[in-house]
């Protein structure tokens, strides 16, 4: 029987390897159960991430909404600080004659601090006094002068140091005076009743302070006429809506630089550089504040969100909502408790609000501790 011979190629090691590879079992992929489990896990993770992203976006939207609701109030607060810090009274020393009003035909008795301008703050409608009056003027009011350069005459716009009458007060009412006529005609659109922060701006060409000759006046009606006529004469415009409280507190600094009690200057929040002319307050306080700007003034604003203001409007209509009694913010020693009482009342009514407060240094104040 002939001998079988093998080809040298068949005896090669690589040939054996090819044979083994060709006969090996193929690798298995993922089973159906594994695929379904993977898909389920990925779906759960994606749902969780989507919910987290949705929550973050909602929180961001709420934060932006809250911030935008009080942007107008913040801008108004900054405007008050900027204007008030630059107010002026321009005091000077002059002869003081006997009598009230002074009898200039007599021999002068001494030198005294005088001014042709005026600075005053206190309760707008009382008690104990009333700078403006009326039931629709809650909170405090403040009126002063400053070289703000405001004018309605185009030829005077380049004169940036023109003197103006200025001030701030609150008012509750509708918006009929600021809307287009077609909205008011035939009650096409209901009026929007709101608390509003008003800014008094008297153009330089209409300034009445010097012509009023305040130094010759002896009654409150005559002395307060320069700002009351501006408020009633259409020179007050809305600076911000939904401001429900404005509190003005004159302060004085001690020798150490820390604020002293406000009772030093305004125990009832009332500060008038011309109080001596109409006998308002104690003799010591009248002389101490005579033609002197307070060194510091604390400004406090309480603002509501528009949604909260709308809720009040739906409940009270054209009646001013009783958010706090008139007895609040009449005694400066109770400032903290009065503010806490106001906040508690707003919380109880589920109203969203924000409190703005800052102490302003009047840079033109030449305050001295002695009269």
Residue 298 has pLDDT above 50, yes or no: yes
Distances (CA, A) of 235 to 213, 214, 228, 325: 21, 20, 10, 28
Residue 273 has pLDDT above 60, yes or no: yes
Closest CA to 297 of 273, 280, 328: 273
Mean model confidence pLDDT for the chain: 84
Q: Quick one: average pLDDT of 118-123?
A: 95
Question: Which tokens belong to 175?
Answer: 């918006």
| Predicted local confidence at residue 245, as pLDDT | 96
| Predicted local confidence at residue 256, as pLDDT | 47
Q: Which strand (E) or helix (H) includes residue 259? A: none
Digit-coded pLDDT (tens) for 12-58? 554 554 545 455 555 666 787 878 888 889 989 999 898 888 888 77
Q: Where are the alpha helices (DSSP H) in 70-113?
A: 71-85
Digit-coded pLDDT (tens) for 219-256? 998 999 999 999 988 899 999 999 999 999 999 876 54
Which range, of 39-48, 257-266, 272-281, averages the lowest pLDDT?
Answer: 257-266
pTM: 0.79
In the structure, what pLDDT confidence band is assigned to residue 345 with cuts at 50, 70 and 90?
A: very high
| Predicted local confidence at residue 155, as pLDDT | 82
Residue bearing tokens 């810090």:
85
**How many Å separate Cα 209 from the centre of its chain?**
28
DSSP string, 309-321: HHHHHHHHTTSPP
Question: What does the alpha-carbon distance between residue 265 and residue 272 come to, in Å, rounded to a whole number?
Answer: 10
DSSP string, 296-346: EEEEEEEEE-HHHHHHHHHHHTTSPP--S-TTTTSSGGGHHHHHHHHHHHH
């Amino acid at each position: 029987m002939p001998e079988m011979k093998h080809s040298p190629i068949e005896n090669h090691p690589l040939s054996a390897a090819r044979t083994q590879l060709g006969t090996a079992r193929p690798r298995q992929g993922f089973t159906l159960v594994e695929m379904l489990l993977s898909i389920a896990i990925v779906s759960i993770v994606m749902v969780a991430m989507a919910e987290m992203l949705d929550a973050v976006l909602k929180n961001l939207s709420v934060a932006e909404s809250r911030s935008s609701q009080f942007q107008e109030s913040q801008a108004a607060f900054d405007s008050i600080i900027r204007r008030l810090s630059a107010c002026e009274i321009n005091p000077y020393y002059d002869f003081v004659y006997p009598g009230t009003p002074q009898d200039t035909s007599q021999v002068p008795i001494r030198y005294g601090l005088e001014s042709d301008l005026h600075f005053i703050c206190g309760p707008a409608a009382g008690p104990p006094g009333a700078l403006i009056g009326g039931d629709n003027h809650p909170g405090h009011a403040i009126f002063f002068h400053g070289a703000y350069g405001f004018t309605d005459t185009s030829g005077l716009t380049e004169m940036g140091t023109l003197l103006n009458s200025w001030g701030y007060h609150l008012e509750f009412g509708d918006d009929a005076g600021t809307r287009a006529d077609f909205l008011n005609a035939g009650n096409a659109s209901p009026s929007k009743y709101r608390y509003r922060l008003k800014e008094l701006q008297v153009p330089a060409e209409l300034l009445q302070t010097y012509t009023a000759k305040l130094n010759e006046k002896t009654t409150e009606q005559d002395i307060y006429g320069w700002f009351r006529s501006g408020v009633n004469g259409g020179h007050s415009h809305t600076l911000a809506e939904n401001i429900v409280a404005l509190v003005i507190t004159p302060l004085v600094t001690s020798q150490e630089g820390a604020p002293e009690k406000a009772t030093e200057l305004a125990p009832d929040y009332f500060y008038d550089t011309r109080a001596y002319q109409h006998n308002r307050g104690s003799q010591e306080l009248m002389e101490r504040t005579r033609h002197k700007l307070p060194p510091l003034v604390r400004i406090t604003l309480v603002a509501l969100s528009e949604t909260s203001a709308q809720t009040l409007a739906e409940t009270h209509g054209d009646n001013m909502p009783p958010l706090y009694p008139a007895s609040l913010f009449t005694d400066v020693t109770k400032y903290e408790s009065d503010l806490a009482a106001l906040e508690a009342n707003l919380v109880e009514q589920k109203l969203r609000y924000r409190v703005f407060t800052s102490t302003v240094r009047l840079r033109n104040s030449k305050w001295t501790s002695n009269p």
